Structure 1
Amino acid sequence: MSNCGCQHEARNAMERRVLWVALSLNAAMAVIGAMAGWIAQSAGLLADALDMLSDATAYAIGLAAIGRAVRFKVNAAYASGGVLLLLGVGVLAEVGRRALYGSAPEGAWMIGIACLSLVVNVAVLRLLSPLRDGGVHLRASWIFTRADIVANVGVILSGALVAWLDSRVPDLAIGGLIGLYVIKEALEILREARSTRDDAAAVEPTEADQ
């Protein structure tokens, strides 16, 4: 009875349920945030929306990795980190474009949408917290969401500064910082994936000798 795999199957089912909820919420907020970012001319909101989209991608990859071998999970984490790295670079490029060609961000929009995103991300982080030690792919998803919360708070603060100072500089600054933070998180995911791959490779010869 102890080898029936029931607990393993139950955990897989729980992981799928949590990741589906996280995927749905983040995909919805990515669309809402992107639309609001264009309407409000906010680099910060657009950066935040891209971050949410990267989360949705990570959750989709995490779903595919559930119940699979360590190698597949490592590859899933590599894919997540790669996507996040590209998006971080894209955010920095967009901030640079807006700095060159101008923008007129609206602080009220920034604060409102970022507050909604913050509520969603806190809820998702609480759902993911019990699963973050379940595998490198789930750890990557948890890191993504943690990064989002930091970004949300930053957008709220920059929105308040935009409204107070009537200046686009805080919006450009938070957009750039989110881009850099996203890149940092991407590199962390890639490092963890490489470490997990190396640990698995070290175990395989030992198992083969037994």
Structure 2
Amino acid sequence: MYPEIKHFNSIKQEYDDKLAVLYKKREQIEQKIARVNIINNERSLTKKIKNINDEILDINKSKNQRLQKLVPYLLAGKQREVAAATKKFTQMSKDIIRFRAEYLLLIQQLYEVQQYAQDIETAFKDSLESIETDPQQIDINIDLLEINLHDPIHPNNPPLGILEKEVQQVYKTGKLPEWLHSYIANLHSNLNENFKPNRNKKNKRLK
């Protein structure tokens, strides 16, 4: 909430609290009227209700007048905050484009590493062709360099591709996927582990 709307709501709440007290008082008097049979008492209570109703009207009028004066400030604050949010949104969108470009450059590097490994394998097999040796006996496993782009349930190879359903989930609900919670927890765990003091070292006593 921005400051102007906090101030607006605070003043509104003050009036609403006063009105709530009057509404409660009026309700109590109406309950008394329903129970009494003496005309004088009923007239007295009815007059009290009229006074309360008049006070309610005055408070509502004062509330509306005061809050109406705050509307221009409320609008100005809204415009300021929306402009700031729009600027932040635009900047973050540019950051995401930059991250996307960096991500694709990393994928390209994966391709280059994979191609290099395949070239090594090809050169290795070509070199052995002249000596009648079965290259399968001393093969390197090219499958280890395959990447998973979109299969979210692969047990040992999480997807490197950007899943649209995850983007939609985070953008529309603000909720992160479960694997990301686990990833963040592991990061924190590793950081804490790295900063733990070595308790196995005995403190040297000064002589």
TM-score (norm 2): 0.31
TM-score (norm 1): 0.31
Structure with bigger RCO (C-alpha 8 Å, 6+ apart): 1
Q: Which has the higher helix share?
A: 1
Look at both structures and tell me which one has the larger radius of gyration over its CA atoms.
2
